Amino acid sequence: MTDHLLAAAVDHLAAANWMFAAVNSDENDQPDPPAPVPRPGDGSREPTDTDAAVPERGHEDGSPSARELARFFG
């Protein structure tokens, strides 16, 4: 349980730092969003239809996707 909580805390800090950097950088020099920290047992989860319907990456204008927002506010 603590591994999952620690990974979630790290993911939230990384997303906050990424959002701060994205807001305070030029439009042409946007940073890549952070990769989530792997959770124990994460490899066995099968993707669902809902996962396929939500885009993985943000929009072309640099705004985050619905999946990135859900992961951030988690």
Model pLDDT for residues 27-59, shown as the tens digit of each residue: 888 899 999 988 877 664 555 555 555 455 555
Give CA–CA dist 67/53, Å, rounded.
10
Q: State the pLDDT confidence band at 12, using cuts at 50, 70 and 90.
A: very high
Question: Is the pLDDT confidence value at 15 over 60?
Answer: yes
pTM for the complete prediction? 0.53
Mean residue pLDDT across the chain: 78
Helix 2-23 to helix 66-73 angle (10° resolution) is 130
Widest pairwise Cα distance in the chain: 40
Tallying the residues shown for the chain, one arrives at: 74
